Structure 1
Amino acid sequence: MRKLLEAVADGSLSPAEAEAELTGYVTGEAGRFDAAREHRRGIPEAILAEGKAPEQVTALAETALETTDRALLTRLSDRQLAVLESALADSFPDVTLEHRGDALLVETADRERPSVDATVGIVTAGTVDQTVADEAEIVCLDAGVAIDRVDDIGVAALDRTLDQVDRFRRADVLIVAAGREGALPTVIAGLVDTPVIGVPVSSGYGHGGDGEAALSGMLQSCTVMSVVNVDAGFVAGGQATLIARTIDSARTDPD
């Protein structure tokens, strides 16, 4: 405790960093940021921008950068992104930004991104599924996992799926995003011995639209795979990252 107080007093530690050390989270006007989540769970807290004011998104991102040297944001609007970039230019001018669709990873120069000896394959059935896959990808990118991305290979033209089977088999874990009837994850899971995480996407229309048919189809799959909620790209990316880290540990220390 005394060392923390002395560090705050001499300016080498900010009050937010000290609060994160003491409680695991930082409380601000935009809410509480869970700075200890990565150490506790293995996956950092992401800032869900959807439903938040641009100023709230910016405040949470700055807290994340101050306490963990990076901010992981999902479902950013153009307006939120513009306000965030303008604020960061003043408060954190040395950061780097990596975009994946409407997801964003911001890192300070002090952060050394980890490296994981495992590959996550990310697959989409169609163009409409790519935004959800982008969210999964940004989580894997943050974790330092190798990513092999394959887009637009839905089962309406099965040849384009079968053409990629050898590539799927080389991955250590697969995330497969599909809307409409959600058949692609089931098909792929029946062709590989790789763990498959199915992500139903809220595309389609009429009966079973908005991801309902895709979710039901994946849950009823007769091939072995796991399924996350509709549009839950972040969750899929987090699950794949945890699996990839376990594989990395086994390769690094096989005994």
Structure 2
Amino acid sequence: MRELLKAVADGSLSPAEAEAELRGYVTGDAGRFDAARDQRRGIPEAIFAEGKSDAQVAALAETALETTGRALLTRVSESHVEVLETHLADAFPDAAIDRRSTTVRVTAADYEHPSLDATVAIATGGTVDGPVADEAELVCVDAGTTVDRIDDIGVAALDRTLDQAARLREADVVIVAAGREGALPTVVAGLVDTPVIGVPVASGYGHGGDGEAALAGLLQSCTVLSVVNIDAGFVAGAQAVLIARAIDAARD
């Protein structure tokens, strides 16, 4: 405690960093940020931007950077990104911003990027599945895994899937995002001997086009796979990271 107080007094530690050390979380006007989640759970807290104001998103991102060296944000809008870039230009002028669709990862200049000896393949059925897959990909990138992205291999032309079977089999974990009837993850799971995580995507026509048909299809899969909620790219990426970390530890 005394060392923390001394560090705050001499300016080598900010009040937010001290609070994170003591409580594990930091409380600000925009809410509480769980700075210790990565150490406790192996997955950092992501800032869910949808429903939050631009100012709240920027404040939470700054807190994340200050206490953990990086911020991971999901479901960001254009206005969120604009305010975030402007805000961080003053607070963290050397921060690097990696944006994939509606997901953003920001890292401070002195952040030490982790590395895992594991590969996660991320496959999509079509272009519409891209933003959900992007969310999963940034979670995997954040953890330091190697990502092999394989896009547009939907089962309407099965040769597109079979052509990529060798790449899918080389991965340690496979995430498959697909909408419509959600057939692609079940097909891929029948081709590989590694864990497959299926992500149903809200795309399609009429009845079931909101992702429910894909979710039902994955839950009833004849092949063995894991299933996350509709459009839950973050959860799929987090599950893949936990598996990848165990694989990395075993290889060590």
TM-score when normalising by structure 2:
0.99
Unaligned runs of 5+ in 1: none
Paired amino acid for 1:166: A
Deviation of 1:205 after TM superposition, in Å, equals 2.1
Distance 1:110 1:3 in 2: 23
Distance 1:191 1:138 in 2: 25
Distance 2:226 2:177 in 1: 12
- Summarize the alignment of residues 21-170 of structure 1 with structure 2, pairs less than 5 Å apart: 21-170=21-170
Paired amino acid for 1:239: Q
- Count of residue pairs brought into register by the alignment: 252
Deviation of 1:130 after TM superposition, in Å, equals 0.4
Distance 1:36 1:228 in 2: 24
Q: Secondary structure at the match of 1:57?
A: helix
Paired amino acid for 2:44: P
- What's 1:218 paired with? 218
Deviation of 1:183 after TM superposition, in Å, equals 0.1
Deviation of 1:109 after TM superposition, in Å, equals 1.4
Q: Secondary structure at the match of 1:116?
A: coil
Name the Cα RMSD after superposition.
0.5
Distance 2:82 2:207 in 1: 38
Deviation of 1:129 after TM superposition, in Å, equals 0.3
Q: Secondary structure at the match of 2:149?
A: strand
* CA deviation string 1:111-160 (max 9, x = no partner): 11011000000000010000000000000010010000000110000010
Distance 1:228 1:42 in 2: 18
Q: Secondary structure at the match of 1:177?
A: strand
Tell me which stretches of 4 or more aligned residues in structure 1 moved more than 2 Å.
Answer: none
* CA deviation string 1:12-67 (max 9, x = no partner): 11000000000000000000000000000000000011111000000000000000
Q: Secondary structure at the match of 2:118?
A: strand
TM-score when normalising by structure 1:
0.98
* CA deviation string 1:96-122 (max 9, x = no partner): 111111111110111110110000000
Paired amino acid for 1:242: L
Distance 1:215 1:67 in 2: 37
Residue 188 of structure 1 pairs with residue 185 of structure 2:
no
- What's 1:19 paired with? 19
Deviation of 1:9 after TM superposition, in Å, equals 0.7
Unaligned runs of 5+ in 2: none
